[in-house]
Amino acid sequence: DTMQYIKSPVSTVVMGMAASAGSLILTAGEAGQRIALPNARVMVHQPSGGFRGTASDIERHAEDIIATKR
Protein backbone atom coordinates (compact mmCIF):
# COMPACT_ATOMS: atom_id res chain seq x y z
CA ASP A 1 0.00 0.00 0.00
CA THR A 2 2.80 2.43 0.81
CA MET A 3 4.19 2.34 -2.72
CA GLN A 4 0.75 3.15 -4.12
CA TYR A 5 0.33 6.25 -1.91
CA ILE A 6 3.76 7.82 -2.41
CA LYS A 7 3.39 10.92 -4.61
CA SER A 8 6.64 10.32 -6.51
CA PRO A 9 6.72 7.51 -9.08
CA VAL A 10 8.35 4.35 -7.74
CA SER A 11 10.59 2.30 -10.04
CA THR A 12 11.04 -1.41 -9.33
CA VAL A 13 14.00 -3.34 -10.73
CA VAL A 14 14.68 -7.08 -10.55
CA MET A 15 18.36 -8.06 -10.53
CA GLY A 16 18.63 -11.78 -9.95
CA MET A 17 15.32 -13.09 -8.66
CA ALA A 18 12.03 -11.68 -7.37
CA ALA A 19 10.31 -14.63 -5.72
CA SER A 20 7.01 -14.99 -3.90
CA ALA A 21 6.18 -11.62 -2.27
CA GLY A 22 9.05 -10.06 -4.24
CA SER A 23 7.06 -10.62 -7.44
CA LEU A 24 4.16 -8.69 -5.90
CA ILE A 25 6.46 -5.81 -4.93
CA LEU A 26 7.65 -5.68 -8.55
CA THR A 27 4.07 -5.18 -9.75
CA ALA A 28 3.56 -2.28 -7.32
CA GLY A 29 6.02 -0.11 -9.24
CA GLU A 30 4.85 2.69 -11.52
CA ALA A 31 3.55 1.48 -14.90
CA GLY A 32 6.37 1.76 -17.41
CA GLN A 33 8.98 1.74 -14.63
CA ARG A 34 8.87 -1.96 -13.73
CA ILE A 35 12.07 -3.53 -14.99
CA ALA A 36 13.52 -7.04 -14.95
CA LEU A 37 17.07 -7.34 -16.27
CA PRO A 38 17.56 -9.80 -19.15
CA ASN A 39 18.78 -12.66 -16.92
CA ALA A 40 16.44 -11.93 -14.00
CA ARG A 41 13.76 -14.36 -12.92
CA VAL A 42 10.34 -13.70 -11.44
CA MET A 43 8.78 -16.60 -9.53
CA VAL A 44 5.05 -16.66 -8.82
CA HIS A 45 3.52 -19.66 -7.10
CA GLN A 46 0.07 -20.85 -6.15
CA PRO A 47 -1.19 -19.78 -2.73
CA SER A 48 -0.62 -22.27 0.06
CA GLY A 49 -1.25 -22.49 3.74
CA GLY A 50 -1.72 -24.76 6.71
CA PHE A 51 -4.72 -24.77 8.99
CA ARG A 52 -5.92 -26.15 12.27
CA GLY A 53 -9.32 -25.94 13.81
CA THR A 54 -12.81 -27.20 13.22
CA ALA A 55 -13.91 -28.57 9.88
CA SER A 56 -15.88 -25.38 9.20
CA ASP A 57 -12.79 -23.24 9.98
CA ILE A 58 -10.68 -25.27 7.56
CA GLU A 59 -13.41 -25.11 4.92
CA ARG A 60 -13.58 -21.30 5.21
CA HIS A 61 -9.79 -20.99 4.84
CA ALA A 62 -9.82 -23.34 1.85
CA GLU A 63 -12.52 -21.24 0.18
CA ASP A 64 -10.43 -18.10 0.74
CA ILE A 65 -7.36 -19.71 -0.86
CA ILE A 66 -9.38 -20.94 -3.84
CA ALA A 67 -10.79 -17.42 -4.32
CA THR A 68 -7.26 -15.95 -4.08
CA LYS A 69 -5.99 -18.40 -6.68
CA ARG A 70 -8.57 -17.16 -9.21
Task: Check if 20 is active-site.
Answer: yes
Q: Which residue in the list 8, 11, 20, 48 is annotated as catalytic?
A: 20
Task: Check if 61 is active-site.
Answer: no
Say which residues have a Cβ less than 8 Å from residue 27's Cβ, sequence separation at least 6.
Answer: 12, 34
Q: Which residue in the list 8, 45, 48, 56 is annotated as catalytic?
A: 45
One-letter amino acid for residue 4 of the chain: Q
Active site residues: 20, 45
